[in-house]
Structure 1
């Protein structure tokens, strides 16, 4: 993994409080980044599919990118610190299937509090704490190793992770992998369950979901940054993958990320 693969795309840490016995619903809002929550007071139950986890004070909850869930908040005034983060590439965790999980590791809580204290400090010191937190998280998280894809496809995966606006064809990717187009397509589909073009679109939409966290960026600019030929085509592809428009997704996401909204 190159250093650039671990570059931070998104980083936000905030303290959230919730009304007692309140519910937050993210079943239609897949998380575009990872979240690590440190519970300070109260308790909360997180339900994702058949999984149900109850978070107590002093514990941390890791919510992987793409998770959909509901959270139920209990106690007089449930409060938590949460670090939301995403990388330019998913390479730091790309070889792991990571479930939503509770982590009873004191150093994670201390590092989360330290990162929150650095939120208005120097950027380099903030990043130093963040990467120390990630390194500890990497060591203590529970995961299942992902099956390794056909190594012959590595040049195609590497190219697709780094490309944005360039036109991509099956023939081009096949040449990178020294395969015939038909054989490459069959191998790629077997490894990913999708065509190379759909795979590239999914990566672009994933990248766009993180850009939508920045309210200063217009949807038109995000479409360009994510490599789409036009904003109308971006909206159509985004709706196909996310079942909602970019504007609706942004509105719901920014509301969810607002500490003041959580306290209402």
Structure 2
């Protein structure tokens, strides 16, 4: 679908911005733009596409860290990157940049999450006010593996049987803050595998998106999740039933990375995961995170 918006890139002739849905439950590629030179109308078109499709892909970008930060800030204030497993930050002078990488220099990891699988999750849902969105920009990619999949939590909720929707309508879920999506213990946290006592924020299990008004399931991540007020066995059984829907391919879209790809996802209504890849191959991605403005409701 071609949007009726013109672009002007460094004095180049204007042209349409093309919005091409993936054909999956979510996701669209935006063509015809350079993210360094968007005017107000173009940015609003990108933002509308993001609300419509939950995830947008823009290929062929050439962004410095400053460019990535500048584009990200058009969506709102940015979070500082989480502290690395080693206890240090990644980019001196640019605390907004989080490096996702398996590369080491002089025996020190330059980023986080290594080369293994990152299981389905929502970024930092263990906070009282989780981030609104995240962006990931590809600098180096392995020849195979490391694909990122996204799941529409609108579509998952809409697919639930009415009886199950009624059962979960007023439940609250604790989002564990013990481990990250790669299974690493978070800096400064004591290890535990008891969902009832692990640290984390409590949010409604079913939420309404503040911008689109659509209902969605808000699961966060599976490990150490706990449905408040239920016996542990009952919580585990019901969560397993809900997570069975997340695993269905009809609710997901898988992205195969190229250098220069930027992907923006709505952290409120999607989950994402990463395939493992050969640890001897290099993968370097830079990520920014837009602050949330309110707790999920």
TM-score normalised to the size of structure 1?
0.24
Q: Which has the higher contact order (CA 8 A, sep 6+)?
A: 2
Structure showing the higher helix proportion among its residues: 1
More strand by share: 2
